[in-house]
Structure 1
Amino acid sequence: MKDGQLDDTDRHILRTLSRDGRISNQKLADTVHLSPTPCWHRVKALEEAGYITGYVATLDQRALGLPDTVIIEVTVDRHDDEIFKAFSDALAELPEVMEAYLLSGEYDYLIKVAVSGTEGYERFLRQKLYKLPGVRHTRSTFALRCLKRAPSVTP
């Protein structure tokens, strides 16, 4: 990486790591056609430059007893910094929430939640989401099937 610009080798490293974050440096180096030391230096440079922000294990929500995904749109009752902060902070503490976005448009938030069927969904709504500060209105949709899931964008 020169002057903050990614070259083809950097992109190849990022693509490979996005598919397998546990790959050994030796195997990564072989995959991207480098020797191990320069490969390790490139990975460290990509981490330091912020292209790589972490490494995670992807968990199977079905195996964890939460096979269903619900997309929930939320409107809060006031649009001020205090409500946005209180809602966002409380939402971040809920383990069922896999993703959450502050939106422009008709709804204020879009939340992706893992639940166990309609009973798990109702429990999440009544015991957790509706108790968060500022919730005025929600609209929910059950996902029937995931067509694509990627942990990050691929360069």
Structure 2
Amino acid sequence: MNKILNSLSDDEYVLVRKTKKSQMAKLDEGDLIGLHSRIRRARNKYVKLYRREGAAKVEAKGARGSGKSANKRNAGRAEVFEDALSRVSRQLAKVAKQSARELKEERLARARKNAPSFSEIDSTDGKVSSAGRIRVDETRDSSGRKKYEASSAAAGARRQAAKDSK
């Protein structure tokens, strides 16, 4: 494993080092998502290289087994990034779960604050003390509503006429 890590470029090595537990503990959810996508791109790069070069070497070597052995470095690099991706995914899941928990608590706290308590509600006989405002359905006046209702009535009349003619 160290041999493969030493064969990585400086940028790739730094990227893998960022997936250590101590390094990821400092990151928030947005940073972890960014790191996750960078690791995934690197993993996909080496998986793609492994597959392409392996397929090309099968033709040259004449067998899949010998083609695979000639392509170990890309397979190892893909495995390193796969392990790093799994570490980041686990940490991201933990942080996302914690964030969801905090948001839920915040939402429930707001709901508790805005909701009236039963002690605030007076114990009347259940009748409304004010008349309130009169509600009028204003959607009936729109031209779209009139067309919709006319169309519906016409469709009903056509159905009834078809039944009557039988």
**TM-score normalized with structure 1 length:** 0.23
Would you tell me which structure has more helix in proportion to its own residues? 2
Larger RCO (alpha carbons 8 Å, 6+ apart): 1
User: Between Structure 1 and Structure 2, whose CA radius of gyration is higher?
Assistant: 2
When you count strand as a share of all residues, which structure comes out higher? 1
